[in-house]
Chain A
Amino acid sequence: MRYNERELLSLARQPAEKAAEILMRVPKKGTPFFFAVLKKRLVKLVVNFLFYFRTDEAEPIGALLLEHCRITKEEENVFSISFIEEPERKYCFECDSEEQCQEWIEALKRASYEFMRRSLIFYRNEIQKMTGKDPLEQYGISEEARFQLGARRQ
């Protein structure tokens, strides 16, 4: 699948919502999970992408799109990211502290576009129930597909 790597690299240079040096283990194909080594990486959250860099390099080694993923607390200080279609393949992150671990879990759970969409629909409904008015109407965007409940077509 082709993608605009140049723009993604440019995105990786944007100010991050969250960034830290964390130990990371990338699942390697064909290798038993526990053989992969934890490596120190600069991990950077920008919009719905998580970029990871070698600590002394300007360009990221890789990016994870954070849609349809599961963020799981593993053992102490450790959380993992896995994707719906391959739940056993986990990207593991070991933080310096339990607090840091929880902060990242919270941030990553809220990082997807889908999460924001659901929040928006929720707020829209609530405001409509409380005030009788659709808050999006005054902005002229109430008919936008992305703001509808159940905007599902393929």
Chain B
Amino acid sequence: MKLNERSVAHYATCDSPTDHAGFLRKRVERHHHHAHHHHATSYQRRWFVLKGNLLFYFEERDSREPVGLVVLEGCTVELCEAAEEFAFAIRFDDAGARAYVLVADGQAAMEAWVKALSRASFDYMRLVVRELEKQLEEACKSLAACRQSPRRSSSSSRKRHLSNPALLPLPEKPAVLENGYSTWGSGGAVPGGATCPDRDGAQAKPPPLPPRRRSAAGSAVGSPAPGLSPGMTESPVSPETACFSKLHGWYGQEIAVLRREWQERQKRGHP
């Protein structure tokens, strides 16, 4: 099967985010052609780079091209009882598939690699993104209805598996919103409870909440809307919003406005 290898190799060495990197010793897998042939297990030290769901390995740290790639979809990562200490294995579901046995320099390095590799799959990332997307939607809706009592998140059951594979028990935390203010570095605790933001913002307070757009259902819930055009009716976080760059640009606008307002207020002698 062909693969766009040149592009893949380029991706391995370009400056896109690296999720983990370090030296590991990789067990050399030999094929036993004859029953009586016995090869001593040997390991090769390689420089490993994890980017997303792809694990590259290089002969040297400064090699310009990877020697190999392990696509990590559908794998499990487990500690293994090899003769070596700090060994772990990447295994695949496929019955005949070989495992990649890797040996770290020490306990901490081994744990860091196992953790990084366990969360490397595309599906895991997608899960987290969708969860945050929902949370953002819920946060928007809650702020739009800020005069009502604080709402509890109904999504607590989803939370546990996101710290997979440890599956540590998590304290049940209802997502009760504060008054929606971020701290803005202005110091001082922000009062709790879902109070409405002060509209004119003339006093010594954090800047007002950004104006909330109408929800996809179209009902205006009396939230403050200074500054932004009333024509914006499309909800940026409805499930139909697919274009991230559009979302990004959209939020960018209001942030620019808010920043300007806040900076002006600072200049006016905000204590």
Interface residues of chain A, those whose CB is within 8 Å of chain B, are: 1-12, 14, 47-48, 59-65, 67-69, 83-86, 106, 110, 113-120, 122-124, 126-132, 135-136, 138-141, 144-147, 150-154
Contacts and interface: CB of A to CB of B under 8 A. Distances in A.
Contacts of B122: 47-48, 113, 116
A73 B16 CA distance: 25
A114 B129 CA distance: 12
Nearest to A107: B242
B4 A153 contact: no
Interface in B3-21: 3-11, 13-21
Contacts of A8: 1, 3, 71
B73 A11 contact: yes
B228 interface: no
Contacts of A129: 182
Interface of B: 1-11, 13-21, 49, 51-54, 65-71, 73-75, 92-94, 96-97, 116, 119, 122-123, 125-126, 128-129, 132-133, 135-136, 139-140, 143, 159, 162-163, 166, 168, 170, 173, 175, 177-178, 180-183, 190, 209, 242-244, 247-248, 251
Contacts of A127: 132, 135-136, 139
B21 A83 contact: no
Nearest to A118: B244
Contacts of B129: 116, 119-120, 123
Among B1, B67, B122, B181, the most chain A Cβ lie within 10 Å of the Cβ of B1
B101 to A, nearest CB: 14
Contacts of B178: 131-132
Given A86-B7, A117-B52, A130-B180, A11 B125 contact: no
Contacts of A132: 178, 180-183, 190
Given A48-B52, A122-B251, A141-B162, 13 more contacts: A2-B68, A3-B71, A4-B69, A7-B70, A11-B74, A47-B123, A114-B17, A115-B244, A120-B125, A123-B129, A127-B135, A130-B209, A146-B19
